[in-house]
Chains A and B, each alone.
Chain A
Amino acid sequence: MRIDHEDVGGGVVRASLTGSLDIAGAAEADPALAAIAAGAERVALDMSGVEFLASVGVRSLMKAARALSAKGGRLVVFGADDAARKVLRSTGVDQVIAVVEDEAAALAALG
């Protein structure tokens, strides 16, 4: 699992995940996402490099979203493929975390 992030200005951090968000990948993504959430208020998360999303990855996203929400911030997810979107929809996570098509929509949603 590879995790990158950059400050894109306006108080927004753009982060990206590459690899499988299974129990092996989430073990690496969790602390990295926690660190990103600790240092930012608004995060646009690019999931276009996530080739597989399991429930443990859903929990990683929920933890990051909760940490941001607790300080008035927000997580927006974009670029998820069809299979990942199905998992986000099925678990109801797309009702509590904004899931949008692309980076432009994510940045617009974060204002």
Chain B
Amino acid sequence: MAGVARLELSPRAEDVAVEIPRMTAWLDEALAAAGASRAVAEATRLCLHEAVANVVEHGFSRGGPPGEGPMLRVALQLGPRGAVVAVRDNGAPFDPTAHPPRTELARLDDDALGGFGIHLMREQSRRLAYARDGGWNSLTIFIGDAA
């Protein structure tokens, strides 16, 4: 497994149009440099986007922590057959691993239209690990045959 690539992003909703393409370009470069397989690349891309989308959508809806701006940090360890994605943010506590799995698939009359992101992360990863540490959410996603 190669070294760790790191990226810091603004999780503010108004910055999404700039920050998400920047994250995608950073990820594509890291995936290419690591020689990640197509399966690992697709799973990593999906899991990272879903984790970051959760932070953007839910983490700071009541503002950031007092005295600090909203922060989102990504660390990525990649190999040809696996990846470990760590997403940390200082937003409201949010534990995706505590969410019950979707028991039903999509329905057109389903008002919630939610839970797809966590469902996809669970499906695409080997394991999800969550911790709340000193005001930070820390979600680690283990993909494929990762260390």
Beyond A66-B108, A91-B105, whether A55 also contacts B117 by CB under 8 A is yes
Identify the stretch in A3-11, A16-24, A103-111 within 8 Å (CB) of chain B at 4 or more residues: A16-24
Residues of B near A69 (CB, < 8 A) are 108
Residues of A within 8 A of B (CB-CB), count: 25
Is B34 on the interface with A (CB-CB < 8 A)? no
CA distance A63 to B116 in the complex (A): 14
CA distance A96 to B2 in the complex (A): 42
Are A55 and B116 closer than 8 Å at their CB atoms? yes
- In the complex, how many residue pairs between chain A and chain B have their CB atoms under 8 Å apart? 75
Is B17 on the interface with A (CB-CB < 8 A)? yes
Is B16 on the interface with A (CB-CB < 8 A)? yes
Q: Which A residues have a C-beta under 8 Å from some C-beta of B?
A: 20, 22-24, 27, 52, 54-56, 58-59, 62-63, 65-66, 69, 83, 86-87, 90-93, 95-96
Task: List 16 A–B pairs whose Cβ atoms lie within 8 Å, in order of A's numbering.
Answer: A22-B24, A23-B16, A23-B49, A23-B52, A24-B20, A54-B46, A55-B53, A62-B108, A66-B109, A86-B42, A90-B119, A90-B123, A91-B119, A93-B106, A95-B106, A96-B107
